[in-house]
Copies of this chain bind each other. A is one copy, B any other.
Amino acid sequence: MAANHNPHGPLSQLTGYHLRRASSVFAADFARAMEGTGLRQVLLGILAVVSANPGINQGSVGRLLGIKRANMVSLINELIDAGLVDREVDASDRRAFTLKVSRRGGAALKDALVRIELHEQQLLAGFTADESRILLDLLGRIERHEPAVD
């Protein structure tokens, strides 16, 4: 029997390689699912975190998502300019801003989550509920090795 050639060589057994490829598949399909909304993965992430933590400041959002302070600035500005997030000076710490999802942002988030639900269902179509749960668990255990940002 001929040994089946493995075109990816050592990559085929590397978790890091497959994480990279699978993540890229998700990213590409996410973009397709969001077409027309103007929302990208990072922006959706911020919107979701602000929505779950009304009044949070942008440094904290960055820490939760692994985004550096310096890079948060223009991202938040995009959301403000799009009218999805409201920003106010924090009365108790005048260096900081408090962020809230606007009415329009809430609707955009709701719509996005519907699209994402569909997009995830498609990419995980062959997965049992158990397999999906297991995947989330294993990924979560990897994420715990993340060094703090900033």
Contact = CB atoms under 8 A, between A and B. Distances in A.
Interface stretch (A79-87, A90-98, A139-147): A139-147
Contacts of A41: 16-17, 20
Interface string A89-114: 00000000000000000000000010
Interface string A5-35: 1111111011111111111111111100000
A28 B148 CA distance: 12
Nearest to A61: B7
Interface residues of A, number: 57
Interface string A120-132: 1011101100011
B29 A145 contact: yes
A137 B30 CA distance: 22
B18 A139 contact: yes
A18 B22 CA distance: 11
Contacts of A15: 26, 120, 123-124, 132, 135-136, 139
A26 B30 contact: no
A75 to B, nearest CB: 15
A138 interface: yes
Given A15-B124, A27-B20, A120-B15, A10 B52 contact: yes
Contacts of A127: 138, 141
